[in-house]
A = this chain, B = another copy of it.
Amino acid sequence: MRELAIVGIGQTPVSENWGQSIREIAGEAILYALEDAGLDSTDGLFIGNMLSGILSKQESLGALLADWIGLKHTEAVKIEAACGSGAAALRMAIMAVGSGELDSAIAAGVEKMTETKGTETTAALATAADADYEIIHGLSFVGINALVMQRYLFEYGWKHTDFAPFSINAHANAMHNPYARLHEVITEKDYKKSRMISDPINLLDASPIGDGAAAVVVVPVEELHPRLSASGRDHRPIITIAGSALATDTLAVHSRSDPLWLTAAEKSARLAYAQAGVAPEDIDLFEVHDAFSIMSALSLEACGFAERGQGPRLGLEGMITPKGRIPISTRGGLKARGHPVGATGIYQIVEVVQQLRGEAAGTQVDGARVGMAQNIGGSGATIATHILKALR
């Protein structure tokens, strides 16, 4: 497969956006990404989205958006992998352009989920889990994650407050991200007194849903120099896609031999490391899928940044901040940037590109050259890992 680069990024603020329809939100992010790339069009459009059919009564998002943004008759489809839909769409764009079948593509993610009733949105999100073996028992999606966290606390002996640094770091970083949903510094005290949602997951362990879209433009590196020169953007580093992999696990958490180990994260990270020729110690920042704080810990462990059961230690030792050993959620993460589910995986990529370009004002990781993003669908069922590198 030929080497690829990300030459354009776009995003909309994650918010409660009742003023725009799903096509308007997605169109905005895609047009920003094209503008950032200095391109008018691409050969393909891959849309990550989970809930448009259920919540917006709208499928066929691929064709809808290709038309809406003026990509007449372009190849376009929607990719669904629950909350991992965004990175799954990027995977498809990578294979489409990498194969030579297309010369360029947009991978975008969009979700509109706040305009419906809360119970409706919660029921829709539950379709990410196993309908026949999990949801039928009355579990919600947060309920499943609460069971995992409960077990983690029991197995490894951590206190609930040991997870506070994940949330505190995410909120602090989001203060510097104008696209983040939450702009509110929180303290350990806030975390402790936060309202319980599903024991032991409290409000500050959980990411807020939201409406939003993000998009990136993928082209082959071999075609990059003439394009960039023409657009006057060749002062920016070239951001290559050095590693990309997607793996799955059982949808129902109870079917796993070890419910506290994200095998799909481990596998996809291992493949991505090998492709990129790097190891965990080479990663300068890591956008984790912190839908719930427990997921940050599990991801850090599965990807080799912490020993099994030791994820919370990284937070307690200050290693996850922008100045730490392995900065995570550097633009706010799902926790504070917000979690418009099908869009999240692309927001993460946009944020890694910002870091590698040196455009992450306020939370810039000094000298960031290699960044990683990991997007999770279901409670660890579909996990895609991408590693980007800056060529200066």
Query: What residues make up the interface of A, taking CB atoms closer than 8 Å to B?
Result: 1, 21, 23, 50-54, 56-64, 66-67, 73-82, 88, 91-92, 94-96, 98-101, 123-124, 126-132, 135, 245-251, 255, 263-264, 267, 377-378, 381-382
Which 9 pairs across A and B sit closest by C-beta, in order of nearness? A99-B99, A63-B381, A59-B127, A63-B248, A58-B131, A78-B80, A95-B95, A60-B82, A67-B250
CB proximity of A47 to chain B, nearest CB, Å: 9
Bound Cα distance from A129 to B98, whole angstroms: 31
Contacts of A378 in B (CB 8 A): 60, 63
Please pick, from B53, B64, B264, the residue contacting A53 in the complex, using a CB distance under 8 A.
B53
CB proximity of A97 to chain B, nearest CB, Å: 9
Contact B248 A74 (CB under 8 A): yes
Contact A251 B51 (CB under 8 A): no
The residue in chain B whose Cβ has the minimal distance to the Cβ of A56 is: B131
Please pick, from B21, B60, B95, B128, the residue contacting A377 in the complex, using a CB distance under 8 A.
B60
Contacts of A58 in B (CB 8 A): 127, 130-132
Contact A82 B99 (CB under 8 A): no
Contacts of A96 in B (CB 8 A): 95
Please pick, from B57, B129, B247, the residue contacting A126 in the complex, using a CB distance under 8 A.
B57
The residue in chain B whose Cβ has the minimal distance to the Cβ of A93 is: B95
Contacts of A247 in B (CB 8 A): 73-75
CB proximity of A110 to chain B, nearest CB, Å: 13
Please pick, from B50, B60, B75, the residue contacting A128 in the complex, using a CB distance under 8 A.
B60
Contacts of A101 in B (CB 8 A): 1, 94-95, 98-99
Given A63-B382, A73-B264, 13 further pairs, Cβ under 8 A: A57-B123, A60-B80, A61-B80, A64-B381, A66-B248, A67-B251, A67-B255, A74-B247, A75-B247, A76-B248, A77-B80, A77-B81, A99-B101
CB proximity of A352 to chain B, nearest CB, Å: 20
CB proximity of A251 to chain B, nearest CB, Å: 5
Contact A1 B99 (CB under 8 A): yes
Contact B128 A249 (CB under 8 A): no
Contact A251 B56 (CB under 8 A): no
The residue in chain B whose Cβ has the minimal distance to the Cβ of A51 is: B53
Contacts of A129 in B (CB 8 A): 60
Contact B95 A81 (CB under 8 A): no
Please pick, from B76, B99, B124, B248, the residue contacting A67 in the complex, using a CB distance under 8 A.
B248
Contact A60 B100 (CB under 8 A): no
